[in-house]
Amino acid sequence: MNDIINRFKIQAKPVSCERYGNGHINETYLVVCENGKRYILQKINNRVFRNVAGLMANIVAVTEYLGKLDPDPRHTLHLVETVDGAKYTGDDSIGYWRLYDFVEDSICLEKVESSEDFYQSAVAFGMFQKQLSGFPADTLVETIPNFHNTIDRVRQLNEAIADNKAGRKDEVGPEIEFALARAEEAGCMVRMLEKGELPLRVTHNDTKLNNVMLDNVTRKPLCVIDLDTVMPGLAANDFGDSIRFGASTAAEDEKDLGKVEMSLDLFEVYAKGFISACGDSLTDNEIRTLPMGAKLMTYECGIRFLADYLNGDVYFSTHYPGQNLDRAHTQFKLVADMESKWDAMSAIVKKIAER
């Protein structure tokens, strides 16, 4: 690993480099130097992100743009250059690597610890979206084509069912039935986009709680991280993906589904934070579809986990056999719970937006 680290302009001799964090996509390492300076080293998953040069160009452009709007170094991710002045290094044999300054004196949560933290994460993602409203969207590479195209996600599930690569199809009859029963509704926001009823914005597209850093003393927003999927998208999807993960009362891979619910209190808290940070720039249709964003991002994630299980766990990192199926179960439980709380979710958003 030292060979890779030494390709970057680091401040001091590295003394340790260990796996870090709970991301499902990249390989992340914490590098500590002898003077205490810390970095985040990442091996970019180039099976998921096929166009590494395009991905890195997006991140360079977005971080430079955000850095000009807000020069505080802890408020934007900062890439460390290589000794040759490049923003990343590597090739197909050793993989592609980048180095970020560690965002110090911060916390990154895997689970909501207090509603105030969740509120602040909503403010962070809402502000992020608002800050990028002036960014030229057409200069961004689509790092994963059709990432939140729910119609295409259903097609991918059907393909995984038909291919049955891992021979697991017969085990998951009820899960497939649950998913396909909602396949028509799944396309509703894509169809609104096509009809011009929803605008495309520059969005983050992966607004999990562990993709935002809060200050460890004030617990106010510091920095939005994991910028690999910043590309044109729907505001409601950024809102929705945060609800999927953060408003759940249990972990994404909880086996006891009795513990898994979408907390209406946390839904309300997040909606308040998000709408306070960017609501004034959202259209009526965007506000109205926020609950649908929550349901569809949860459904989409569920069918992605299920398809990956059928494909033999080739996309998301897993730590034990069956983890993708456990993840699909929690997502489907959350979808069903949102269906039973639908009127309340819509009423909450309406009430907040009217203020």
**Interface mask (CB under 6 A) for ligand GN1, residues 12-51, using x and -?**
-----------xxx----------------------x---
Among 153, 168, 208, 295, binds ligand GN1 (CB under 6 A): 208
Q: How far apart, in whole angstroms, are the C-alpha atoms of residue 140 and residue 185?
A: 29
Among 28, 46, 149, 249, binds ligand ADP (CB under 6 A): 28
Q: How far apart, in whole angstroms, are the C-alpha atoms of residue 353 and residue 355?
A: 6
Rounded least distance, CB 224 to ligand ADP, Å: 10
> Alpha carbon 232 to chain centroid distance?
14
Q: How far apart, in whole angstroms, are the C-alpha atoms of residue 94 and residue 73?
A: 30
Q: Which stretch binds ligand ADP (CB under 6 A): 62-70, 221-229, 230-238, 251-259?
A: 221-229
23 binds ligand ADP (CB under 6 A): yes
205 binds ligand ADP (CB under 6 A): no
Q: How far apart, in whole angstroms, are the C-alpha atoms of residue 158 and residue 254?
A: 25
Helix (H) or strand (E) holding 203: strand 201-203
DSSP annotation string for 245-314:
HHSBSS-TT-S-GGG--B-HHHHHHHHHHHHHHHGGGS-HHHHHTHHHHHHHHHHHHHHHHHHHHHHTS-
Among 275, 301, 307, 310, binds ligand GN1 (CB under 6 A): 301
The amino acid sitting at 68 is: K
Q: How far apart, in whole angstroms, are the C-alpha atoms of residue 303 and residue 317?
A: 16
Q: Which of residues 213-242 bind ligand GN1 (CB under 6 A)?
A: 226, 228-229, 241
Among 225, 230, 282, 287, binds ligand ADP (CB under 6 A): 225
Whether residue 182 contacts residue 295, with contact meaning beta carbons closer than 8 Å, is answered with no
246 binds ligand ADP (CB under 6 A): no
Q: Which of residues 131-170 bind ligand GN1 (CB under 6 A)?
A: none
Q: How far apart, in whole angstroms, are the C-alpha atoms of residue 237 and residue 218?
A: 28
117 binds Mg ion (CB under 5 A): no
Among 252, 268, 313, 326, binds ligand GN1 (CB under 6 A): 252
Binding site for ligand GN1 (CB under 6 A): 23-25, 48, 206, 208, 211, 226, 228-229, 241, 252, 301
Binding site for ligand ADP (CB under 6 A): 20-21, 23-26, 28, 40, 77, 100, 102-103, 108, 210-211, 225-226, 228
Binding site for Mg ion (CB under 5 A): 23, 211, 226
